[in-house]
């Protein structure tokens, strides 16, 4: 029977099914292909390195890439792959293989999405276009990429002795971690051991971003009604010393008020509508702004300046 067909694969991906064998549509497991879930949308994509990837060898297996204290990606060196239990070529070969964590290589049914299937593999689309050919196993640190490398060993489970396979022999689905060989002639035999090296995204996804409250708009206000919110040891805080009454537009500060300078000339400004009344400039000068119109009437304790005259007086 045919083992690989581009047209059938395209149609099945459009239907949201996972293509693994060219038999009947009803035998394929449904998966997310075009319909992205919140758990599949990366929110820390910008933290993925675009050059100078750090890992590519056996001693670096399971090492992580960090952004601050957050794990963004993990490197796998020659993870043993698990075959589909649907054999081809007179029941002598396996055409489809899966990236399943902790697997002993026992064949599994392609009709199920396996619980421990490792998904969200990172491709070279996150690198610069000039680095498109870089692979996840490279002896040259300057040419390490995200692109997965498949290797095969005949007869025994020895990852170090495995030989890389031609990229023309298979297709790899980075989203689901499924390897498909393009024909019976290149499909591995049942006695072969297949390994894969590459990077997996482990950073924050959209569902985690939402549940963590990072999207904003959530949380219990601190303090009592009218109290202005502030960061109180990483929690919402409120205090009766700092309040705002929205009904009359009144802000109340009880205690010291410290104003620090800025690039503006007016550090402190009192206005009434569009009229400036008094201000403190960056040189520390307290300035009463000239008044216009008729000379004001002096009030108890008043200090006024108008028409080149300075007023201090009482009624």
CB 121 within 8 A of CB 174: yes
Query: What residues does each domain of the chain span?
Result: 6-210, 219-255, 259-315
With the C-alpha atoms ordered 224, 226, 227, 230, is the resulting torsion angle positive or negative? positive
**Digit-coded pLDDT (tens) for 185-216:** 999 999 999 999 999 999 999 998 888 875 55
213: left (phi over 0), alpha (psi -120 to 50) or beta: left
Q: Which residues contact 301 (CB under 8 A, 6 or more apart)?
A: 314
Percent helix, strand and coil across the chain, each rounded to 5?
15, 35, 55
Local confidence band at 300 (pLDDT 50, 70, 90 cut-offs)? low
**Digit-coded pLDDT (tens) for 91-146:** 999 999 999 998 888 999 988 878 899 999 999 999 988 899 999 999 999 999 99
Looking at the predicted structure, is the pLDDT value of residue 13 above 60?
yes
* pTM of the predicted model as reported, rounded to 2 decimal places: 0.64
Please give the backbone phi and psi of residue 133, each rounded to the nearest 5 degrees, phi first.
Answer: -90, -5
């Amino acid at each position: 029977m045919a083992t690989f067909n581009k047209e059938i694969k395209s149609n099945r991906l459009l239907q949201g099914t996972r293509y693994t064998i060219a038999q009947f549509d009803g035998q394929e497991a449904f998966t997310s292909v075009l319909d992205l879930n919140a758990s599949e949308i990366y929110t820390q994509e910008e933290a993925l390195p675009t050059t100078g990837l750090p890992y590519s060898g056996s001693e670096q297996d399971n090492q992580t890439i960090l952004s601050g204290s957050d794990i963004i990606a993990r490197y796998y060196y020659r993870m043993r792959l698990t075959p589909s239990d649907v054999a081809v070529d007179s029941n002598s070969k396996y055409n489809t293989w899966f990236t399943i964590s902790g697997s002993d290589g026992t064949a599994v049914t392609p009709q199920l999405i396996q619980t421990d299937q490792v998904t969200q593999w990172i491709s070279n689309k996150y690198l610069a276009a000039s680095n498109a050919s870089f692979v996840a196993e490279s002896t040259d640190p300057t040419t390490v990429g995200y692109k997965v490398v498949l290797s095969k060993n005949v007869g025994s489970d020895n990852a170090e002795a495995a030989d890389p396979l031609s990229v023309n022999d298979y297709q790899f689905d980075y989203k689901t971690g499924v390897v498909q060989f393009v024909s019976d002639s290149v499909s591995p035999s049942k006695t072969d051991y297949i390994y894969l090296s590459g990077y997996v995204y482990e950073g924050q996804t959209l569902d985690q971003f939402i549940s963590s409250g990072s999207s904003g708009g959530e949380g219990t206000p601190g303090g009592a009604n009218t109290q202005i919110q502030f960061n109180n040891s990483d929690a919402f805080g409120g205090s009766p010393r700092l309040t705002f009454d929205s009904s009359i537009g009144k802000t109340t500060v009880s205690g010291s008020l410290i104003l620090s300078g800025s690039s503006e000339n007016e550090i402190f400004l009192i206005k009434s509508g569009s009229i400036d009344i008094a201000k403190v400039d960056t040189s520390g000068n307290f300035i009463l702004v000239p008044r216009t119109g008729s000379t004001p009437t002096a009030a108890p304790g008043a200090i006024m300046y108008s028409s080149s005259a300075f007023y201090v007086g009482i009624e």
